[in-house]
Chains A and B, each alone.
Chain A
Amino acid sequence: EAGVTQFPSHSVIEKGQTVTLRCDPISGHDNLYWYRRVMGKEIKFLLHFVKESKQDESGMPNNRFLAERTGGTYSTLKVQPAELEDSGVYFCASSNNGQGEGYTFGSGTRLTVV
């Protein structure tokens, strides 16, 4: 079974530019989550999709962040315009039952805004 795939693995962009992160969940997993780890801080929840619908987006920091999940398959997270404080590692996870026990995380996208 293929795992959760994220790309790019690393992105360096200038402040004010736009970046789009992509996540391909495990096939058949209805639940897809985005988390972020900022340097020196804990991993924090951003949002949760069930199929193509946003179940919980309470962790999204502001309206510069836009997440989509086309047709309930892969998901994208766009940051526009990027700010310095957006730097960090963005993790995607997927699950079947949505109870945390079945989470599989991707390796993350390391975003550096300069």
Chain B
Amino acid sequence: QKEVEQDPGPLSVPEGAIVSLNCTYSNSAFQYFMWYRQYSRKGPELLMYTYSSGNKEDGRFTAQVDKSSKYISLFIRDSQPSDSATYLCAMSAIGGNEKLTFGTGTRLTIIP
């Protein structure tokens, strides 16, 4: 079983819709949670970073963490064609071990 599970999609939604992306994890040691966006032929770009259960909002993006269920989500409001990309969840453990464990990524397409 993978430590981090993420539906690879692809996911297509119309412009302006709310997008929900999710990951589940099995390792209780994970304490830091991140969402990255990756455009084609580019490296991952950090979107959101959180280390506590609950919601964190940044503009049109909201990251949600539920440690009791080992479940994290990223919501994108008022989605735009420029949001079309692959979205990767990533996690790391507390205690100085900074390596990231990634999900497989979800390919998202926003249809104008």
Contact = CB atoms under 8 A, between A and B. Distances in A.
A41 B104 contact: yes
Interface string B47-83: 0010000000000000000000000000000000000
Contacts of A48: 98-99
A65 interface: no
B45 interface: yes
A107 B98 contact: no
Interface in B83-99: 88, 90, 92, 97-99
Interface in A87-113: 91, 93, 95, 98-101, 103, 105-108
Nearest to A93: B43
A89 B18 CA distance: 31
Contacts of B43: 4, 91, 93, 105-108
A7 interface: no
Interface residues of A, number: 25
A108 B6 CA distance: 22
A91 B100 CA distance: 13
Given A42-B2, A42-B4, A43-B88, A103 B42 contact: no
Interface of A: 4, 31, 33, 35, 41-45, 48, 56, 58-59, 91, 93, 95, 98-101, 103, 105-108
